[in-house]
Amino acid sequence: MSFRRLLILTALFLNSTVILYANPILDQPADVILKETRLSRIPQMIQALEDKAKIYAENNKILEAREYLKKAIVLKDAIGMRESEGNAQLLTQISKLESKLGNQCEASQLSKLAKNIYRKIGVNFGAVTFEEPKQNQETNISAAKACGESVTWLKE
């Protein structure tokens, strides 16, 4: 087999695998995904969004990864998984991405939301505690003013 033929076959194979895994609905807003997808397929969509976010994060495309994880959280909320460990893990992942983007306030708020979910579902962290370091009240007030009251894209 010639080298050129091998290259052509490889290119065709790679192109077909990309087409097999391409799912254009994942690029739509979360409300469109919910409207266009059967309820039984939502968990697969969530997993696909998480996988796509992981690929983008590995390629240092932080903004895109964050958007796919946000969609996954909205879908989890829509099917009643708001207080799940998986949702807390997504919040933690987005918190890390926000931190990489320099959005420390949003990262902190997302991390606190994740911790609250972990506490509610009773995840046993052993010797690890979530108590915040003691700060004076003025520092807490100025930090709260600087960060705003809530995460802008996540409904309380």
Sequence spans of domains, the chain: 22-122
pTM: 0.69
Q: Which residue type sits at 6?
A: L
Angle of helix 85-101 relative to helix 62-78, nearest 10 degrees, comes to: 160
Q: What pLDDT score does 139 carry?
A: 46
Q: What pLDDT score does 75 carry?
A: 92
Q: Does domain 22-122 have CATH number 1.25.40.10?
A: yes
Check if the beta carbon of residue 17 is closer than 8 Å to that of residue 10. no
Q: What pLDDT score does 2 carry?
A: 73
Q: Where would I find the H helices in the chain? A: 3-21, 30-36, 42-58, 62-78, 85-101, 104-121, 137-147
Q: What pLDDT score does 64 carry?
A: 94
Integer Cα distance of 25 and 47 in angstroms: 13
Q: What is the pLDDT along the chain (156 residues), one digit of tens a residue?
A: 577 776 666 665 554 344 335 678 888 888 899 899 898 999 999 999 999 999 999 999 999 999 999 999 999 988 888 888 888 899 999 999 999 998 899 999 998 988 888 888 887 665 455 555 455 445 444 554 566 655 655 654
Q: What pLDDT score does 87 carry?
A: 87
